[in-house]
Chain A
Amino acid sequence: MNEIITSAISESTMDKLHILADSAKYDVACTSSGVDRKGQEGMLGNAKGCGICHSFGADGRCISLLKILMTNHCEYDCKYCINRKSNDIPRATFEPDELCQLVVEFYKRNYIEGLFLSSGVLKSPTYTMERMCEVLLMLRTKYRFNGYIHVKTIPGAGDDLLAVAGYLADRMSVNMELPTVESLKKLAPNKSFETILNPMSKIQSTISEHRLAIGKSSRMERAKGNRLLENSIFNQSRLEKKPDYYAGEEGLFIESNSIGEGIKLPTVSPRLILPGKEAVLSKADKLNRAFAPAGQSTQMIIGASDENDFNLIQTTQQLYQTYDLKRVFYSAYIPINEDSGLPSLDTPLPLLREHRLYQADFLMRYYGFRANELLSEEMPNFHTEIDPKCEWAIRHLEQFPVEVEKASYEILLRIPGIGPKSAMRIVNSRRYGHLSFESLKKMGVVLKRAHFFITCGGKQMYKTPIEQKYIFKQITSFEYKDNWKISHSNENYRQMNLFDDFGLSV
């Protein structure tokens, strides 16, 4: 790092930072996970597969990346968005050097793990994406940045720019925002399913081609435990069959998996696509990078349109299966714009609903559950009082109690209060001796929940009936407090603070 880099930070940088972070904050993804990369001499940074958080904001969300827009000018007018053309708000645009220096200096102080770059549509999608690629290229070459980069693609930008972005970034995302054609038409009139699913599909094909070329499997790595789960949504033999459940689901993007399928992005060198940038590349054109090694993700807004939870988790499952997404994020809709097509401004945030969807997402990614086991046409929404896993267990009491000394990993994972780690510990340790409730507890089993559903060495912990109403009542009695906290956490935080500060318990 010997070359002298002149400071591009000016007095207006602070204002830009404020405006462009403020407009970026509604995007939920801030993870830096999915890729392991060692540091390199002469470069700055590395990447850890597990991801690293660096702080937690006042809203309790993790801050891992500098999540920022390149510009909040926008030609589009998506109803739900703060940056839409029709809003009268302060606007700003970063200079590439300015933004790069912020990233690098923040990174060295251990404030962040990298950059999450997104943008409003400036002039045209292609022009915008070009500018974004310029920032990324500069960051990787002039600033020798080897940390994490997540780039949000702009729907409608050309394929070659998508390709360039993929070579420079670790993760790419194309936001669905709305899970059905209908609500997309209504709320994001300048976008279409095609401009969302098309790039998603091309990115997926390109990622898998690159993975194969370096001797990996074509699909992204998933939590190890999934290999032991016959039922997992990631199970290869099931993936080959066409998904079975969405015939007749009107509005869901049924036919869409044919869009752009198998078409790869062009092979390009960033140098060709960004002419005039040779100077930047002269010294360090070692851009021999994997294509989006941390995969792609998307986000959906919850509660701005009428979809039910069943629609949402089916869509989620399909996104994992068809587009091999690494993550699907949900964001509780925050009413910021007045619009006839949107919920009114005083609508409470659906925080508990968002929480339930994330629970379901985990059950699908780590526990071998499938969307249609959790919900159905007849029961299209999650229960407010009880989490999806307990709910499933109570509906399937005929499968309980389970003897923990004998049950398979797959079955253990279905028991409320047992997670992938504790299930693995049970399976590994029981080969060498008997288990007890005491040792289960130490292994991380939440007995408060699990004890209704298990026996250990043939005995229940307490002699409780295995009966729906009884268990439901018991579990909801202690879950009530948690659920209440989740849905009211934002409104009543002052009170809760008081309780906490004075050591009172509610």
Chain B
Amino acid sequence: MTVFSCADDFSAMMTCIYEAWSSRLGHDNVKLVREPIHQLELFTDYVHVEADSEKTESVVRSINQKISKGAYMWTFYASLSHEEDALDTIYRFLVLGFRYGACICQMLQNPVVMRMMELRRNVGNEAHLFVEFSRFTSINNGIYVSHIEPKNNCLISVANHFADRMISEYWIIMDDNRNLAAVHLPNEEFYIRNLTEDEATQLKMTEQFRDGFVAMWEEYFNTIAIKQRVNPVCQRNHFPEWMRKHAVEFLQSK
């Protein structure tokens, strides 16, 4: 068995797929993982792969042309997944995809395809949760900062939404766990940036900032519930506890 490993970013993963494929070791004899590798195994060769833009492009082109645009979207979303098996699943999915073509995304009775669908669905669902529940704090009169802690690496997907929603505003969305930030200037495309420790610490402080609108939102939130219908179980099912860490309305001292 040969294990191909790479960093947790899209280009590295596509290059890793390229290398594993062209090694001609046979699909059953290779395994793909993202680093760090948690448990090393005996009788296994380890190959580390670095991102390469040409190889990435060639993989992306093949998926789009020989399988489908849909399959490419699945691949992209699945690559953002935090699940251990994501990269290897993508590889198995592409093996099948190159064999069956565009219909692969419908062959849900195949366990690999089903797993692939679960992976990208989880990423999509989580991104949607942050589109709904992330909150921005206004600092310096007009810069809006939000903090999220997603399980999957879905910052891009969340930022995409806000790029359209707040197209002419200054805003930053920070992934507190990965120290990544999506930065947006009015009427420009946002970019993703790796934050230095210093920047990260500074940005994290923005959340302590409160202005009059925070208090008014809390007031609204408390008032709009009908007390004869109070139902915390239902509330929790819709707005899970772990999501509440950055939602101001749940941080009020009762």
Contacts and interface: CB of A to CB of B under 8 A. Distances in A.
B225 A57 contact: yes
B108 interface: yes
B135 A109 contact: yes
Contacts of B236: 500
A266 B117 CA distance: 50
Nearest to A351: B229
A78 B82 CA distance: 55
A55 B221 contact: yes
B234 A111 contact: no
A152 interface: no
Contacts of A431: 103, 106
B167 A40 contact: yes
Contacts of B215: 14
Contacts of B103: 431-432
B5 interface: no
B165 A57 contact: no
B41 interface: no
B230 A58 contact: yes
Contact of B216 (A14, A38, A432, A489): A14
B107 A429 contact: yes
Given A109-B144, A433-B107, A58 B164 contact: no
Would you call the interface of chain B mostly helix, strand, loop, or mixed? helix
A108 B109 contact: no
A21 interface: yes
Contact of B224 (A42, A67, A110, A428): A67
Contacts, number: 176
Taking each of A109, A110, A432, which has the highest tally of chain B beta carbons within 10 Å of its own beta carbon?
A110
Interface residues of A, number: 65
Given A21-B224, A61-B225, A111-B217, A500 B144 contact: no
Contacts of A26: 226
B185 interface: no
Contacts of B226: 25-26, 59, 61, 334
A153 B162 CA distance: 31
Contacts of B217: 106, 109, 111
A108 B169 contact: yes
A404 B37 CA distance: 43
Nearest to B144: A108
B138 interface: yes
Contact of A41 (B106, B133, B135, B167): B167
Interface string B157-172: 0000011111111000
B12 to A, nearest CB: 30
A43 B168 contact: yes
Contact of A497 (B100, B220, B222, B232): B232
Contacts of A432: 100, 103, 106-107, 109
Contact of B219 (A18, A43, A429, A496): A18
A43 B167 contact: yes
- How extensive is the interface on chain B, given as a class? 35 or more
Contact of B136 (A53, A109, A496, A497): A109
Contacts of A496: 232-233
A59 B106 contact: no
Interface stretch (A44-52, A157-165, A278-286): A44-52
A435 interface: yes
A84 B27 CA distance: 73
Contacts of B232: 58, 60, 493, 496-497
Interface in B94-145: 100, 103, 106-110, 114, 118, 131-138, 144
Interface of B: 100, 103, 106-110, 114, 118, 131-138, 144, 146, 162-169, 187, 212-217, 219-239, 247, 249
Given A18-B223, A59-B235, A442-B118, 20 more contacts: A1-B168, A17-B216, A41-B168, A42-B168, A43-B167, A52-B132, A54-B132, A55-B239, A55-B249, A56-B235, A56-B239, A59-B229, A59-B234, A67-B224, A108-B169, A109-B217, A349-B229, A434-B109, A490-B228, A496-B232
Interface of A: 1, 9, 13-14, 17-18, 21-22, 24-26, 38-46, 52-63, 66-67, 102, 105-106, 108-111, 332, 334, 349, 351, 425, 428-436, 439, 442-443, 485, 489-490, 493, 496-497, 500
The 3 closest A-B pairs by CB, nearest first: A60-B234, A57-B225, A58-B225
23 contacts: A1-B168, A14-B216, A17-B220, A25-B223, A40-B167, A45-B166, A52-B131, A53-B238, A55-B221, A57-B225, A59-B226, A59-B235, A60-B229, A105-B138, A106-B217, A108-B138, A109-B144, A332-B229, A442-B108, A485-B233, A493-B231, A493-B233, A500-B233
